[in-house]
Amino acid sequence: MQRRTLSVNDVAEFLGLHRDTIYELVREDKIPHIRLGGRIFFLEDVLEDWLRKEMN
């Protein structure tokens, strides 16, 4: 099974941003994410769709 979720570190690297910036975007609810058991995850396909929309 292929992994579909990304961690904060994965997203920071993917977007070329600092981890703190990703946490700030999450706090401000400006990036689609999921919280499970105190951890933050991102669905790869949802993040890609969000990024396409943000770039237009």
What domains lie within the chain, and their CATH numbers? 5-55 (1.10.10)
Separation of CA 34 from chain center: 9
Which token pair is 51? Answer: 């990024």
Q: Give residue 3's pLDDT.
A: 75
pTM of the entire predicted model = 0.88
Q: Give residue 23's pLDDT.
A: 97
39 vs 53: CA distance, rounded Å = 25
Please choose, from the candidates 7, 1, 17, the residue with its C-alpha nearest in 3D space to the C-alpha of residue 42.
7
Q: Give residue 2's pLDDT.
A: 77
Task: Look over the chain and give the mean of its residue pLDDT values, rounded to a whole number.
Answer: 94
Is residue 25 predicted with pLDDT exceeding 90?
yes
pLDDT-based confidence at residue 26 (cuts at 50, 70, 90): very high
Please choose, from the candidates 36, 37, 33, the residue with its C-alpha nearest in 3D space to the C-alpha of residue 10.
33
